[in-house]
Amino acid sequence: MKTALKYILRIALPLLLAGVILHWMYRGVDWSGVWEALEGGMNWWWMLLSMPFGVSAQVFRALRWNVVLKPMGEKARLSTCCNGIFLSYASSLAIPRVGEVLRCGVLSKYEGISFTRLVGSVVSERVVDMSMVFLFSLITMLTQIPVFLDFFDKTGLNLPAFLGRFTTTGYWVTAVCVVSACILVFLLTKKLKLFSRTKVKFAKLLEGMMSVARLHNPWLFLLYSVGIWLSYYLHFYIAFYCFEYTAGLGPVAALVAFVVGCFAVLVPTPNGAGPWHFVVKTALVLYGVQDNDAAVFALIVHTLQTLLTVVLGLYALAALAMTRMVNGEPLAVSEKALHTKL
């Protein structure tokens, strides 16, 4: 009973948080703008052009994962790695962060690789990803200081005036997102320590975490890492050309919105729903896009990119059902089965 309640809360609370933020954001939106965009007001060809980059980001992640596994003497089929990644992102739409465990379970069952080593490799990958996000953030902040000053000078706006556009609810939403992200980091750190003490062999976990330091081909790892984040960025930036009011903003404005969106998805809601919409809308407004148009952009782009994640997840389920397993056992997705390979 307690376990069932825990899983219900893990699903319900993120959905509730996302729903509250989305309701607050879109309570005054003119919905006719959404229907006009969907019925012909947006350029669907640009949206279709952006979708392959959403796929390539996950494929590059699978390729990089294989590079990380090699120093441990492990090698997995690329198809299994890709399907594990596809499934991990899709499953995280239902339960935030569960995908990292699930993809380790997929490779453990289908490729016979130690589950604990896989967990360690995922931790090391995430450290690299966060480092790259912070690097992007630093570059964006440094390069955009003149742009911000020029924007405020030409429009007659100043920072207090811009912040004054926020309502009291807006400040509360921002505060809730920041606090939620901090709580998530704390819980993940605590869980990792408990996990390493009671459920895994610490030596294998450490081996997986240190695999990045012993890469056979660090340049290939770097190339795949750049490919991941360049694909994510293009997946987002090309969508700007779908709408008249964002088509002329340019790659730098897209980079600003992309970076703040990366931090927004740290808030434990499905695919960052709610916080992502909020920060992307705010970034677009900073560059002169009208409030309603910015909200429409965030809603349509996030929804279509999420649908792509769902489609890839369904494809992975079908592909894994037809994949031969190393040990010949059927795939088990229960929490108990995910921890059998120690």
For the chain, the domains span: 43-323
Residue 80: both structure tokens together: 């299994």
Q: What's the predicted TM-score (pTM) here? A: 0.75
Closest CA to 236 of 147, 168, 297, 167: 297
- Tokens, residue 296: 């429409």
Contact 32, 281 (CB under 8 A): no
Residue 219 burial by CB count (10 A; 0-12/13-18/19+): exposed, middle or buried? exposed
Joined together, the tokens standing for residue 274 give 């709610």
- Are residues 87 and 320 in contact, defined by beta-carbon separation less than 8 angstroms? yes
DSSP structure class, residue 249 = S
Q: Are 115 and 338 in contact, with CB atoms under 8 Å apart?
A: yes
pLDDT score, position 312: 94
Measured between alpha carbons, how far is 250 from 239 in angstroms, rounded to an integer? 12
pLDDT of 218 reads 82
The pLDDT, as a whole number, for residue 291 is 85
Query: What pLDDT was estimated at residue 286?
Result: 82
Closest CA to 297 of 33, 15, 48: 33
Under 8 Å between Cβ of 265 and 274:
no
> Cβ of 3: how many Cβ atoms within 10 Å?
8
Distance CA 116, CA 128 (A): 19
Q: Answer whether 276's CB lies under 8 Å from 18's CB.
A: no
Identify the pLDDT of residue 328: 52
Q: Please, are residues 100 and 327 in contact by the beta-carbon 8 Å criterion? A: no
Residue 66 and residue 320 in contact, taking contact as beta carbons nearer than 8 Å: no
Rg (CA), the chain: 21
pLDDT score of 149 = 55
Q: What angle do CA 9, 101, 105 make, to 5 degrees?
A: 130
- Size of the chain, expressed as the number of residues it contains: 342
Which residues of the chain are under the pLDDT cut of 70? Answer: 1-12, 14-15, 17-18, 23, 25, 145-214, 268, 326-342
Q: In the prediction, which pLDDT does 172 show?
A: 62
Distance from first CA to last CA of the chain, Å, rounded? Answer: 27
At residue 166, the pLDDT reads 52
d(CA 297, CA 294): 5
Q: Which amino acid is at 189?
A: T
Element (H, E) at 171: helix 168-198
The torsion angles phi and psi of 280, rounded to 5 degrees, stand at -65, -40
